[in-house]
Amino acid sequence: MTQTLTLIQPDDWHIHLRDGDALHTTVPHAAKSFNRVICMPNLVPPVKTTADAIAYRERILGVLFNADMPHDRKDGFDPRMVLYLTDHTTADEILRAKESGVVQAVKLYPAGATTNSADGVTDILGRASVFEMMQKVGMPLLVHGEVTHQEIDIFDREKRFLDEVLSIIIKTFPNLKIVMEHITTADAADFCLAQGDHIAATITPQHLLFNRNHLLVGGVKPHFYCLPILKRACHQQRLLEVATSGNPKFFLGTDSAPHATHTKESACGCAGCYSAVHALPLYATAFESVNALDKLEGFASRFGALFYGLPINTTTITLAKQEQSIPTAYDYLGDKTLTPLLAGQTLAWTQLS
């Protein structure tokens, strides 16, 4: 008899849907598995204002309305919007965002940290009035936790951010809710554990399943390249430990990030792993590897909603211990392709519904 696993419908607390024609691929893929999704704001141009966020959400829902997929998945899909924090963001804009009902958080990208982050903050501690308003109204800060100084080794940038930036933000704004996004190191996991319940972290499937050997040994593999970059196996192991511990400070955020195949397999080597369409089988594979499938529902379906103060979903999804072959590519941007994580390989789990 095939083993099955039924979970409360998960949410994705960190996803990149992009914009324009890209939405015709990314939105149906995300809606297949998730109810709420936290939509990253690093578009071109970025989502800097509440008006930008509302317009972006309408574009997403417009694509969803016309997508060829079951009506119950359309009805259950709820894109939650994020403002891109800049050196010019005001406290008044934070208040408007909170009152909108659709803006869930504010994203801190240190300038130059990742894809489309050139408009990010150059003076993080100079954003005091914004952080104070966020603290007052209960608007979470989502942080891409890396410093960007050129002289600092890429494998050390997360640790330096914890020591030099995040620890100061937490000390200065002790009631500010913060999500440490896509953590990649034991340092980040242990830092999160040492903080109060208002500090949480998301973890991606690639950082649970892979380490830098997968990226580098036998030749550079561009579809494993993401930022923050994959780290040593010891860090991967620590992430698995905290993700499967049942601690509600850690929850699902895929950081699924689409790039056309020709831009990944090029000198650009754009950073990002595309996992939205098969994220739940990936997470099931990771949790099963440490005999912790019983902890997957909390991580995927409960803890993020509790942190954000939102209701637990009432619908369910079912996974089966049934092999599936990951497609080699998806149609993207009309005449391009999009290569998913583990393209052409076999996964032991399949999402049935």
Is 73 flagged in the annotation as binding? no
Output the six-digit token pair for 235.
């860090």
Strand partners, 203: 252
Is 255 flagged in the annotation as binding? yes
Is 259 flagged in the annotation as binding? yes
Annotated catalytic residue within 68, 255, 294, 335:
255
Tell me, yes or no, if 75 is annotated catalytic: no
Show Cβ contacts of residue 95 under 8 Å, excluding neighbours closer than 6 positions: 133, 137
Is 227 flagged in the annotation as binding? yes
Is 107 flagged in the annotation as binding? yes
Show Cβ contacts of residue 24 under 8 Å, excluding neighbours closer than 6 positions: 63, 67
Is 18 flagged in the annotation as binding? yes
Is 313 flagged in the annotation as binding? no
Please say whether the beta carbons of 169 and 180 come within 8 A: no
Is 92 flagged in the annotation as binding? no
Please say whether the beta carbons of 239 and 189 come within 8 A: yes
CA atoms within 13 Å, Cβ hemisphere of 82:
28
Integer Rg of the chain from CA = 19
Please say whether the beta carbons of 48 and 72 come within 8 A: no
Is 111 flagged in the annotation as binding? no
Cα–Cα distance for residue pair 334/206, rounded to 1 Å: 27
Is 16 flagged in the annotation as binding? yes
Is 17 flagged in the annotation as binding? yes
Cα 55 to chain centroid, rounded: 21
Burial class (CB in 10 A: 0-12, 13-18, 19+), 173: middle
Which positions are annotated as active-site residues? 255
> Which residues define the annotated binding site for substrate?
16-18, 42, 144, 227, 259, 271
> Which residues define the annotated binding site?
14, 16-18, 42, 107, 144, 182, 227, 255, 259, 271
> Which residues define the annotated binding site for Zn(2+)?
14, 16, 107, 144, 182, 255
